[in-house]
Amino acid sequence: MDAVIVGVGASGGVLVKKLAEAGWRVVGLDAGPHWNPHEDFVSDERTMHKLYWRDRRVTGGDDPIELAGNVTGRGVGGSTVHYSMYALRMHRSDFEVRTRDGVASDWPLSYEDLEPYYEEVEHELGIAGPVDWPWDAPRRGAYPYRPHKLNGVGEVLARGCDALGIQWRPGAIATLSAPKQERPPCVYRGWCIYGCTTDAKSSTLVTYVRAAQKAGAEIRPNSMAFRVNTDPSGRARSVSYYRTDEHGQVHEEEQAARVVIVSGYSIETPRLLLMSASAQHPDGLANASGMVGKGLMVHSSDIVFGRMPEPVSMFKAPPPNTITQDFYETDPANDFVRGYSVQTVGPLPIKFAQNVASSLGLWGTDLREFMYDYVHYAGLGLVGETLPEDRNGVTLHPDETDQYGLPIPAVSFGWGENDSKLKTAGVARQKQILEAAGAQATFAASDTAHLMGGCRMGSDPSDSVVDRDCAAWDVSGLYICDGSVFVTSSASNPSLTIQAIAARTADRLVAAGRRHEL
């Protein structure tokens, strides 16, 4: 094969398609099933937890983060099968935080480097969004598809923002508002984060992966990679993995390729590199800098719920319905740098009940009585920027193993002072918007979302894992391309940037192959 790609999610899906269409012989390995949305997805919250990566992991640190929920995906399509679908570009400032704000590091890429790839991915996915985007620099033209109609909670956010003089727009989201080829538009069922049964949701499962297979790429599901192998010269040459067959039998196999690309995301990518330690690479593969696993980031995503006098039915239509980014950039009036977005959310009953139970301490009869008001609640979710810290990250647990006998990842996380101040301000703003919209009562639920970092991109091999083209500094033939390469987290949902980086990386690989430089 020309390329073996570990993980066929947000990034891996883009890579298999683009490389296959360029004539490369490509195989994609994924640890989970290859889902059929029409047969495997049902409208049941508990059943659809099967979409999450729920293997054993350890979480710790000053502020342990939840790992088994809606953070990572297990199966072809990865977390795009169950993500909330906000498809947002990062701002120009996000790539220059050291220069502008004196914190973290600048990216080795600029917004202009990714702009054509943002455009490319938006058209491939059929992003539905507003005619104009008032934050940062204007887009070049409208989104490919018209915006979705505001749902009940979208109208609440819009009303509150209007009362306070805050700009808002319909969200830019990855679900169709009109037909695209054989795929129908969204029918507003509202079950988006538990898998779309109609194919309206633009996951990589139903977009890039299907196109990749038509172009000749091979997808191998239920294939858990456990080691990247190198040849005597130190070049990446193959991936060893455990494949589970239809009878539940596990087989150890190996796939050689000219190029190995790891796209397992911010926990499994560092884990695989650390498990690939050898005599040549005693501290793990691509870890000469000691940075593999370090700099893990999440978004603060506390939700504030407001009880409205009228029914809102926040579960109807795509949950990522409406947004404001008025508080995205650094404001000298604040006692923190960087900023946050405020977005609509629409948790279904079980998730909402969990928020109520954990935040208000209600249980039994009291919780049941509270849930009668479910349709009256509107939820606003925070996407708050978190600064990278090397103490936050992923290591291998020294004793615990998973079902394959592999060391499980140990994840450590704690908020920094800037993160905490930003989060407090964002929650206060959410409450202000809800009250301006007429909320009779509010309560906040703590949460985090998204994973970023762990194999950061950089310009210096001493403090990063990959270069600006996602090539590992100290292992030729090895590329790392997923959310783990993020330098900073921004205040935007990361999926579109992950996919834009993957699209750019694919082009750089194809160009290098033509120059015989691989």
pTM recorded for the entire structure: 0.97
* Element at 339 (helix H, strand E): none
Q: What pLDDT score does 138 carry?
A: 64
DSSP states of 421-472 as a string? HHHHHHHHHHHHHHHHTT-SEEEEE--EEEEE-SS-B-S-TTS-SB-TTSBB
Q: What is the DSSP letter of 477?
A: T
Q: What pLDDT score does 298 carry?
A: 98
What are the tokens at 226? 């456990």
DSSP states of 236-288 as a string? EEEEEEEEE-TTS-EEEEEEE-SEEEE--HHHHHHHHHHHT--SSSTT-TT-T
Q: What pLDDT score does 45 carry?
A: 92
Q: What is the pLDDT of residues 347-365, one digit of tens each?
A: 999 999 999 999 999 999 9
* Element at 323 (helix H, strand E): strand 322-324
CA distance 30 to 493: 23
Structural Rg of the chain based on CA atoms: 22
CA distances from 200 to 30, 117, 327 (A): 23, 22, 31
Q: What pLDDT score does 185 carry?
A: 96
Q: What is the pLDDT of residues 229-262, one digit of tens each?
A: 999 999 999 999 999 999 999 999 999 999 999 9
Four-residue CA torsion sign, 112, 118, 123, 126: negative
User: Could you tell me which residues come within 8 angstroms of residue 282 by beta carbon, excluding any fewer than 6 positions away?
Assistant: none
Q: What is the DSSP letter of 158?
A: H
Q: Which residue do the tokens 């502020």 mark?
A: 63
Please name the residue ranges forming H helices in 77-204: 97-101, 111-125, 152-164
Q: What pLDDT score does 516 carry?
A: 86
Report which of 194, 182, 223 is spatially closest to residue 404, judged by C-alpha positions.
223
User: Which parts of the chain sit beneath pLDDT 50?
Assistant: none
